[in-house]
Homo-oligomer: A and B are copies of this chain.
Amino acid sequence: MSIVRVHNFSISLDGFGTGEGQSRDAHFGHAGDRLHEWMFATRWWSADGNAGVDDAFVQRHDPGIGAEIMGAGKFGHPGWEDEPDWKGAWGANPPFHTPVYVLTRHTRPSIEMEGGTTFHFLDASPAEALAVAREAAGGSDVRIGGGAKIIRAFLAEGLIDHMHVAVVPILLGRGVRLWDGLEGLERTYRIESTASPSGVTHITFARTGA
């Protein structure tokens, strides 16, 4: 059965998934690349990268995924809605390779990219967007790509089956928090922690069906 998954979502020790001051040149604001260096160091990212537990986790990003849902802030910098030719922050061949549904109040025509990614723009609730993405995924799983606000919204509505969060040992102090308003989340998930030699702690949430 098609499930809903989150992968490789990186937060600081103090819970921020994005820093402050996001812009075209700073996709994660003052966090810079610091939340994702562990990922860039894996074999998944480059041929001479490490092949340990960080790589084992990141490798699960793509298999079995038929569509992604992301927030407007993952698609582009604040203000992209006013740039009619903007095609997203992910280059000509984005790393999604499926239909991607961008949640935004400012919808525009779909954009077909290289490598199988097509961006669609939806003004919809989490549940409505999921119904559309599920249909497009044709029996495969749907990935919720982030940012923090989007994941939080899907968690709050009980729509996520599997989640992988990577906690990076830095303190950002400000930005967008992942965990706000999710009291008691542990009651419906089996939570497991795996520390990596890289310093990152991988936390997985597997829905228990309660």
| Residues of chain B within 8 A of A179, CB atoms compared | 13-15, 171
Interfacial residues of chain A within 160-210, with CB under 8 A of chain B in the complex: 167, 169-174, 179-186, 191-196, 199-201, 203
Q: Could you tell me the distance between the alpha carbons of A15 and B179 in the complex, rounded to whole angstroms?
A: 9
Copies in the complex: 2
A183 in contact with B174 given A201-B201, A203-B13 (CB within 8 Å): yes
CB of A173 within 8 A of CB of B169, answer no
Q: Could you tell me the distance between the alpha carbons of A194 and B193 in the complex, rounded to whole angstroms?
A: 9
CB of B182 within 8 A of CB of A169, answer no
CB of A169 within 8 A of CB of B186, answer yes
| Residues of chain B within 8 A of A183, CB atoms compared | 171-174
Partner of A201, one of B172, B186, B193: B193
| Residues of chain B within 8 A of A200, CB atoms compared | 193
Q: Could you tell me the distance between the alpha carbons of A32 and B183 in the complex, rounded to whole angstroms?
A: 14
Partner of A193, one of B170, B180, B192, B195: B195
A169 in contact with B193 given A13-B179, A15-B14, A179-B14 (CB within 8 Å): yes
Q: Could you tell me the distance between the alpha carbons of A13 and B192 in the complex, rounded to whole angstroms?
A: 12
User: What are 25 A-B interface contacts by the 8 Å CB criterion?
Assistant: A13-B179, A14-B15, A14-B179, A14-B182, A15-B15, A15-B179, A169-B186, A169-B191, A169-B203, A171-B179, A171-B183, A171-B185, A171-B186, A172-B183, A173-B181, A173-B182, A173-B184, A174-B183, A191-B199, A193-B196, A193-B199, A193-B200, A194-B195, A195-B195, A201-B201
